[in-house]
Amino acid sequence: MDRREFIGGAAASGVMLLKSRTAFGSQANSAVRLGLLGCGSRGTSVATSFAKNTSARIVALADIFPDQLATAKAHFDQVNSSLGVPAIDPKLMFRGYRAFEELAASPDVDAIQISTPPWFHVQHLDAVVEAGKHAYCEKPLGVDVAQAKQALEIGKRAQGRLSLDVGFEVRSAPPIAEAIRRIHAGDIGKVVCIAAHYNAPAAVSHSGTNWSADEFRLRNWLWDRVLSGDIIVEQNIHVIDLCNWIIGSHPLKASATGGRNVITHQGDTWDNYQVIYTYPGDVHVSFSSTQWGGGSWFDVTERIFGATGIAEAPYSGPVRIIGANAWSWQGNAPAAPGAPAAGFAANGAFSDNLEFADREKDRGFIESITSGNFHNQAEAGAESAVSAMLGRMAGQRGHEVSWDEQMQHPEVYTLNMNMAQFT
């Protein structure tokens, strides 16, 4: 199965259907009304970036838990006040498991940011697109292949009439985007192999009184393989997505190992993966991942080895090319060698090379709506999700797995939880 077969025709020709004045009435009325679905730490962080860095206004909130909804309202009322924007109308606050449908149906919302646990992403994306709303969906686009295939079908329905962005904000980090532009321009020659790692601190734990086992599981979804897709699909996917972008394809096969060697908390996610991906042209990616320890245990790097040079694209530290076409990023200053690692927070807030990643990503999404030059990132989002799943399957099955084998595998991640209890 090649790339074209995988996408199944999802990438139809784009047609500009609407201009901003047509879509929003007038220039003065052109602020995109954004609803946040999933008011946790990361969702709140990204929505705050939308409010502060774009013309979008946060007008609606939805969450399964009332305490998260209340905390988000207090936060965004303060943010909106600082921007001279009205507080969120209580009528545009939706609570419970079916809140995503109520938010999607609201005539007072133009676009929805989906920041719910990954198992729900495709279900929520389906409702948002069906309702005719623009969608910014956090990665991954699915935790199993069936969900990724569904995401592609949703992308077909959105094509040409809605913007559908996936939260691969690292692609928008100016230093990293420039390094990859230079790689594609041939500044390191033919790409031969990539060595990459994603070492992260332990997932933040949440606890409360009178929580049922299901509520504990939902609030600590990062510990749960079904809800998160495991660390390789939920978090490490950023690096795997960059490798796909650099090479211009998805991997053909993977062999992997890993396990749960350090963490002892509830859940079933692994705390380490080691994966060898093989891409077309016999290009190999050696990827490793760890997730335990404290906040200082954060280090993410890609080293791309070419025939005439080496490119380095870390989250923190010099972004550069070593070789015949030597170059280094001179924009926002990278950390000096030996300096403390980039700032890291559970909500994905970074300093150093990713400092402006969310800002640029958010601006691109909102501009695509107001200009009528709609994005459709369903293809790349699904492809990177399946690429991460390939490493997961190879590791957990203990043998090499091909792309074709995985695409035909009947594996389905079932929630096994009655969500009606949270209505």
Whether the CB-CB separation of 209 and 324 falls below 8 Å is answered with: no
Does residue 361 belong to any structural domain of this protein? no
Chain centre distance of CA 316 = 19
The pLDDT tens digits for 101-152 are: 999 999 999 999 999 999 999 999 999 999 999 999 999 999 999 999 999 9
Whole-number pLDDT of residue 363: 98
Whether the CB-CB separation of 286 and 276 falls below 8 Å is answered with: yes
Q: Quote the number of domains for the chain.
A: 2
C-alpha dist (Å) from residue 293 to 92, 140, 146, 204, 275: 39, 24, 33, 11, 21
Does residue 415 belong to any structural domain of this protein? no
Same domain, 195 and 327: yes
Q: Please state the three-class secondary structure of 36-93 as a single string.
A: EECCCHHHHHHHHHHHHHCCCEEEEEEECCHHHHHHHHHHHHHHHHHCCCCCCCHHHE
Q: Which residues pair with 259 in a beta bridge?
A: 272
Domain holding 260, by residue range, is 171-354+385-408
Same domain, 199 and 305: yes
Contacts of 225 (CB under 8 A, 6+ apart): 267, 268, 269, 413
Same domain, 118 and 208: no
The pLDDT tens digits for 54-111 are: 999 999 999 999 999 999 999 999 999 999 999 999 999 999 999 999 999 999 999 9
Q: What is the mean pLDDT of residues 369-398?
A: 98
Whole-number pLDDT of residue 29: 56
User: Does 284 have pLDDT greater than 90?
Assistant: yes
Same domain, 245 and 291: yes
Q: How many CA atoms lie within 13 A of 223 on its CB side?
A: 18
User: Does 334 have pLDDT greater than 60?
Assistant: no
The reported pTM is 0.91
Does residue 413 belong to any structural domain of this protein? no
The pLDDT tens digits for 182-227 are: 999 999 999 999 999 999 999 989 999 999 999 999 999 999 999 9
Mean pLDDT estimate for the chain: 91
Q: What is the mean pLDDT of residues 360-369?
A: 98
Cα separation of the two ends of the chain: 42
User: Does 370 have pLDDT greater than 90?
Assistant: yes
C-alpha dist (Å) from residue 18 to 161, 369, 386, 391, 418: 8, 9, 32, 40, 41
